């Protein structure tokens, strides 16, 4: 069975954007005086417009994503995961 998230994609993307800006591990703001997770809890709503832009971009899958979705079977959660994983793999290939 595929894992199912408890939060919306918009919230998850917005939290990642906020964390990337703040986290010293992600070369963000650095010394903040409190854990990044606490700050992210308060500021992620400010990043929802960016999160929406990311999600809107995913509306048009690549050919690789479509093939991955077809190969994943009939479970919509597996199809979604396969397509997103294919997109991640495509991005990794571009970085090489």
pLDDT, average across residues 57-72: 94
What is the rounded CA–CA span in Å between residue 74 and residue 19?
Answer: 34
The pLDDT > 70 percentage for the chain reads 88
pLDDT at 28 over 70: no
Q: Which of 52, 51, 16 is nearest to 37 (CA)?
A: 16
pLDDT (tens digit per residue) in 1-23:
567 788 999 999 999 999 988 87
pTM above 0.85, yes or no: no
pLDDT at 72 over 90: yes
More confident residue, 3 or 37: 37
The pLDDT > 90 percentage for the chain reads 61
Locus of tokens 């990794």: 92
Query: In terms of C-beta density within 10 A (0-12 exposed, 13-18 middle, 19 or more buried), how is residue 7 classed?
Result: exposed
């Amino acid at each position: 069975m595929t894992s199912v998230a408890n939060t919306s994609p918009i919230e998850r993307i917005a939290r990642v954007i906020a964390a990337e800006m703040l986290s010293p591990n992600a070369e963000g703001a650095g010394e903040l005086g409190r854990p990044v997770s606490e700050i992210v809890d308060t500021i992620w709503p400010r990043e929802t417009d960016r999160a929406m832009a990311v999600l809107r971009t995913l509306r048009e899958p690549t050919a690789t994503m479509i093939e991955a979705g077809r190969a994943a079977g009939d479970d919509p959660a597996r199809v979604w995961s396969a397509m997103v994983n294919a997109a991640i793999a495509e991005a990794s290939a571009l970085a090489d």
